Amino acid sequence: MKIHEYQAKQLLAQYSVPVAPGKVCTTPEEVRLSASEFCGGGNKCVVKAQIHSGGRGKAGGVKLAASPQQAFEIATSMLGSTLYTHQTGPEGRVVHKVLVTTAVSVRREFYLSITADNENAALVIVASADGGTEIEETAKTHPERIVQIPLSPVMGFKRYQAIRTARALGLAGPLEKELTSILSALSRLYVDKDCSLVEINPLVETDEGHLLCLDAKVNFDDNALFRHPEIVALRDVDEEDPREYRASQSDLSYVSLDGDIGCLVNGAGLAMATMDIIKGFGGAPANFLDVGGSATAEKVKAAFEIILSDTRVKAIFVNIFGGIMKCDIIAAGVVSAASELGLNVPLVVRLEGTNVDEGRRILSESGLNVIEASDMADGARKAVRAAKEARA
Amino acid sequence: MSIFVDSNTRVIVQGITGNQGTFHTRQMLDYGTKIVAGVTPGKEGQDVFGVPVFDTVHAAVKATGADASVIYVPPKFAADAILEAADAGVRLIVCITEGIPVLDMAAVKQYLATKKSRLIGPNCPGIITPGQCKIGIMPGYIHRPGHVGIISRSGTLTYEAVKQLSDRGIGQSTVIGIGGDPIRGTGFIDALKAFEADPDTWAVVMNGEIGGSGEEEAARFIATEMTKPVAAFIGGQSAPAGKRMGHAGAIIAGGKGTASGKIAALKQAGVEVAMTPDLIGQALVDAVKKCGIEIS
C-alpha cells in the first residue's frame, strides 16, 4: 500500500525525523491561507501536487510561489488538473490535494532509503551523495555512487551501519549525529509499521547546516495491514485503479493491462502463463486476474463484473485448473454471472481438474453461448480469434 | 526413491480443526498419506477422522514420532506455527498459508538458519511423491509415479506441468511447489541438488516466474552441478514492470527479475525452455531426448 508525501512526512515527524513544515490543502483558498504562514517578505513557498507517483516535479506538479496570492493561483490551476508522469501511465492522475511547504535553501542533496532485501531475508540501507530527481539515472550510469548496507530487521539498526552510511555521504561531526538519529528512526518506523519502503529523497543539508527531509515516500507490506489499522486509515482510494480497488474488496488479485481479452484464472502462476500464451498467439490480455484457490460462485461473479466493467474487453477467457477448487462450482459461478450480468462478448472456457465432467455438463446445458476449449493452448487460440472477430 | 517425502513420512497437520485443515486432512488421508496427529491449541483430546489432536507440536511429536508437518493456519499465526514446528524438531515443515507478513518470514528465516528443519513454502501447494505421500493441496489424481522431478513457484501451473507429463505417460518422482512469496524456505537450488542426488529422478522440470533472482542462480547451479536434463518455463513474459502479479514475489522492479533475463540464463545453462506454458511437457521430452534417456 502507498500513501501520500504529506502522510509520509507526518509519520516521519512522529519518529522525530526533521521534515520541512507544511500543510495539506484541498482548495485554493486553503492554500492562500497556509501560504501566508510560509511565504511573503522574501521567503518563498512550494506548492506540491499530492499524487501517488514519482516524477511530479518534471510533470509540473511542484511549483515555487513568492506570495500567498501566487500560491493561490498555482493551486487554482493545479487542483483538479491531471498530471502525467513516467509512473502514472497515459491515463495520468487527477490532483485532489496539494501540500504547501516552506522553500528551503540547500547546500547538498542526498538520497536515503531502507527497503527489503528479500533474497537475504533482510533489509538494506540505500544511500547516495547524489540525491534528488536524478537518482534513477545515477543508479543506471554510476551504480558505484549508491551504497547498499545490509540491515537485519531482527537485530535492528547498529552504530557501525550509521558510520558506514555517513562516510558514504561525506558527513561527519554534528551532521553524522543527525544522520544517525534519522537512520535509527527510519529503521524503527520500517519494522514498527511493516513497511516495504521508507525513502527520503532528497534529504538535504540546509544553509544553516542541518539535515532536513524535503520529500518522502513510505510503502507498506499489504500482508501486514491486518495489524495496522492506523495505516489502513491512510489509504486514498482515489489513487487506485477503480477495478483493482473493487477486486481487492472481493479478495481477488487483479491488475489492469491494456489489451482486450479479459482473463479469469485460478492461481497467480497460471494467470501469468495465460497472459503469456495469449500474447504468444498474437492477442493482448486486458488484465491479470487470479480468483484464488478457494473461489466461490460469488467470487467468480465478482470477477466477471470487474472484467465486464472494462469496456475495452472484446472476449473473455476463463482458464481453470481445478485442484481443490471444483470445476462444477466454477461452472455454476460462470453461468449465474453470465446470465445475471448479461454477457455481450464471446466467452471461451477451459476447465480441467476435479469434477471436470460435471462442470462441462453445467456449461453445455446452460444455454449460454460458451466456446469450449480442450486445453490451455486451444482456449487461448479461440479467445484471440474471437477478440479479433469482435474488433472487425 | 524420491526426495524429502515417501511412504514412511509421518505427518502432523497444524490447524487441523479449521476448514482448510479438516478438508485437506481428508484428501491427504484418502491419498494414503500417514497423517498421525493434528495440532490446534485448546482442542487436545479431540480427533479429526480418527486423527488425534494435540495442543502443541511438541506433544504431537512426542506421542506419535512425526517427522513432518503441514500448516493450514491463518496468516496472523502462520509464522508462529513454523517456529513451533522447528522448535519441536520437525524435519520437514510445509507451509501452505498465503499472506504472511514479510517481516515475519524474515525472522522465521533467521531462526531456521539455526535449526535442521527444512521449510517448504509458504504460499505453496506443498509436496507430493506420487503413490506414496501427498502433503498439501494439490489434486492427487493427476499425478503418476515415475522419474521426473518437478519444482515450481506456482500451484496451478505445477498441476498444468504434471498433467502434461502424465498425459504423455511420463510419471513423476517428487513434485514440489516452493511458493510465490519473496522469502521462502526451500529454493530452486535446494530442490535441484536433491533431485540430482536422487537415483530415481532422471530429469527435472522447473517452473519459474518473474521477480527475484532464484531462476538465475538455479541456472548457474544447473550449468556447473547438474548432470540430469532440465526443462523449464518462466511465467510472466508479458507482465509489465512495477506491477505485482498476485504472488508477492512476482514483480519486476528496478529492471531486475525479468522473464527474458531468466530465460536467457537458463538457455545459457543448457536448459530446454518452453516459450509457452502448453509446451512444458514437450520441452521435457526434448531435453530428455537430447541426453539419450528413455523416460516413460
Residue B249, pLDDT score: 80
In this prediction, residue B255 carries a pLDDT of 73
Residue B247 has a pLDDT of 82
The answer to whether residues A289 and A252 touch, using CB atoms and an 8 Å cutoff, is yes
Pick B103's closest partner by Cβ from A87, A194, A322: A194
Specify the pLDDT at position A338: 86
Contacts of A276 in chain B (CB under 8 A): 235-238, 276-277
Q: Per-residue confidence at A354, pLDDT binned at 50, 70, 90?
A: confident
CA distance linking residue A354 with residue B264, whole number of Å: 36
A317 to each of A275, A284, A307, A311, B240, how far by Cα in Å? Answer: 10, 12, 10, 15, 20
Tell whether A377 lies on the interface with B, counting CB pairs under 8 A.
yes
* Cα separation, A194 vs A155, whole angstroms: 15
Alpha carbon of residue B120 to chain centroid: 6
Is residue B130 very low, low, confident or very high in pLDDT (cuts 50, 70, 90)?
A: very high
Q: What percent of chain B has pLDDT over 90?
A: 90
pLDDT per position as a tens digit, A306-327: 999 999 999 999 999 987 778 8
**pLDDT at residue A60 is higher than 80:** yes
Q: What is the pLDDT of residues A144-169, one digit of tens each?
A: 899 999 999 999 999 999 999 999 99
Interface subset of A 315-344, CB within 8 angstroms of B: 321-324
Whose grid coordinates read 483430546?
B45
What confidence category does residue B235 fall into, taking pLDDT thresholds of 50, 70 and 90? very high
Average pLDDT over residues A15-43: 93
Nearest one of A293, A310, A304, A291 to A335, comparing CA atoms: A304
Whether B137 shows a pLDDT value over 90: the answer reads: yes
Considering the domain delimited by A21-103, tell me its CATH architecture: 2-Layer Sandwich (3.30)
Q: Which among B103, B109, B240 has the least Cβ separation from residue A224?
A: B103
Tell me if B236 and A285 make a contact (CB, 8 A cut-off): no
**pLDDT value, residue B276:** 94
The answer to whether A295 and A324 have CB atoms below 8 angstroms apart is: no
Question: Amino acid letter at A255?
Answer: V
Residue spans of beta strands (DSSP E) within chain A: 22-25, 45-49, 62-65, 82-83, 93-94, 98-102, 106-117, 122-128, 146-151, 195-206, 211-213, 216-220, 253-256, 261-265, 287-290, 315-322, 347-353, 370-373
For residues A59 and A53, what is the distance between their CA atoms, to the nearest angstrom? 10
Total beta-carbon pairs less than 8 A apart between chain A and chain B: 161
User: Does the pLDDT of residue A194 top 80, yes or no?
Assistant: yes
Residue B104 CB-half CA count within 13 A: 22
Region B178-188: what's the mean pLDDT?
A: 95
CB proximity list for A136: less than 8 A, separation 6 or greater: none
User: Nearest Cα to A192, choosing from B98, B101, B108, B247?
Assistant: B101
Q: Which whole number is the average pLDDT over A224-249?
A: 93
pLDDT of residue A367: 86
- Of A27 and B295, the structure prediction assigns the larger pLDDT to A27
Confidence of residue A90 (pLDDT cuts 50, 70, 90): confident
Q: Report pLDDT for A296.
A: 79
Assess contact for B110 and B85: CB atoms under 8 A. Answer: no
Tell me the torsion sign for CA atoms B30, B33, B35, B41.
Answer: negative
| CA–CA dist B233, B224 (Å, integer) | 20
Question: What was the pLDDT predicted at B81?
Answer: 98
The interface predicted TM-score of the complex, written ipTM, equals 0.91
E-assigned strand segments in B15-144: 34-39, 47-48, 51-54, 68-71, 92-95, 118-120, 126-129, 133-136
Query: Which stretch of A125-134, A266-275, B126-135 has the lowest confidence by average pLDDT?
Result: A125-134
Checking if the pLDDT of A89 tops 80, the result is no
User: What is the C-alpha separation between B233 and B162, in angstroms, rounded?
Assistant: 13
Q: Does A272 touch chain B (CB under 8 A)?
A: yes
pLDDT for the residue numbered A41: 79
Pick from B183, B239, B277: CB nearest A118: B183
Averaged pLDDT, B4-8: 97
A241-391: CATH topology is Rossmann fold (3.40.50)
Q: B278, A376: Cβ pair inside 8 Å?
A: yes
Model pLDDT, residue B267: 97
Catalytic annotation present for A111:
yes
Residue A119 — pLDDT band, cuts 50, 70, 90? confident
pLDDT score of B239: 92
pLDDT-derived band at B204 (thresholds 50, 70, 90) equals very high
pLDDT on residue A242: 87
Indicate if the pLDDT at residue A197 is higher than 90.
Answer: yes
Name all domains of chain B by residue range, CATH numbers in brackets. Answer: 10-120 (3.40.50.720), 138-291 (3.40.50.261)
**According to DSSP H, which parts of A144-296 are helical?**
159-169, 174-192, 229-232, 242-249, 268-280
pLDDT of residue A138: 83
Task: Compute the nearest-CA separation of A212 from chain B (Å).
Answer: 27
Q: Is B247 tagged catalytic?
A: yes
Query: Mean pLDDT across the stretch B244-250?
Result: 82
pLDDT at A318: 95
Which pLDDT does position B209 carry in this prediction? Answer: 95
Which of B41, B181, B156 shows the shortest CA–CA distance to B100?
B181
Is A118–B247 a contact, with Cβ atoms under 8 angstroms apart? Answer: no
Amino acid B16: pLDDT: 98
Q: Do A121 and B153 touch (CB under 8 A)?
A: no
Query: Quick one: what percent of chain A has pLDDT higher than 90?
Result: 73
Q: List the single range of A77-91, A158-172, B66-80, B186-200 with lowest mean pLDDT.
A: A77-91
The reply to whether the predicted model has a pTM over 0.90 is yes
- Interval A178-183 mean pLDDT: 98
Catalytic pick among A111, A178, A190, A205: A111
For residues A333 and B79, which has the higher predicted lDDT (pLDDT)? B79
Average of per-residue pLDDT across B77-100: 97
| DSSP state at residue A314 | -
Map out the domains of chain A as residue ranges: 1-20+105-240, 21-103, 241-391
A12-26, A292-306, B5-19: least confidently modelled range? A292-306
- Could you tell me how far CA B184 lies from the centroid of its own chain? 10
What does the mean pLDDT of chain B come to? 95
C-alpha A219/C-alpha A225 separation (Å) is 11
> Is the model's pLDDT at B37 over the cut of 80?
yes
**Lowest model confidence (mean pLDDT) among A64-78, A152-166, A319-333, A378-392:** A319-333
- Among candidates B156, B210, B213 on the partner chain, residue whose Cβ is nearest the Cβ of A321: B156
Name the minimum distance, in Å, from the CA of B246 to any CA of chain A.
5
The whole-number pLDDT of residue B200 equals 95
The yes-or-no verdict on residue B294 having pLDDT over 90 is no
pLDDT at A234 over 80: yes
% of chain B beyond a pLDDT of 70: 99
Of B139, B183, B235, the CB nearest to A269: B235
Contact B100 A223 (CB under 8 A): yes
Residue A131 pLDDT class (50, 70, 90 cuts) = confident
pLDDT digits (tens, 9 = 90+) for B57-82: 999 999 999 999 999 999 999 999 99
Per-residue pLDDT, averaged over A345-371, amounts to: 91
Nearest chain A residue to B257 by CA distance is: A119
Contact B157, B206 (CB under 8 A): no
pLDDT at site B117: 98
Residue B254 binned pLDDT confidence (cut-offs 50, 70, 90) = confident
Burial of B217 per CB tally in 10 Å (0-12, 13-18, 19+): middle
**How many angstroms separate the CA of residue A29 from the nearest CA in chain B?**
37
- Give the CA angle between residues B145, B133, B281 to the nearest 5°: 35
Angle at the Cα of A102 from the Cα atoms of A100 and A104, rounded to 5 degrees? 140
CATH number of A1-20+105-240: 3.30.470.20
Instruction: Cell 470487474: give the residue.
Output: A306
The CA distance from A388 to A386, in Å, is 5
End-to-end CA distance of chain A: 40
Instruction: Tell me which of A22-26, A38-42, A310-314 is least confident.
Output: A38-42
In contact, A337 and A301? CB cutoff 8 Å: yes
Taking an 8 Å cut-off on Cβ atoms, the answer to whether B102 and A87 are in contact is: no
Query: Which one of B24, B143, B147, B247 is the catalytic residue?
Result: B247
Residue pair B69/B11 in contact by the 8 Å Cβ criterion? yes
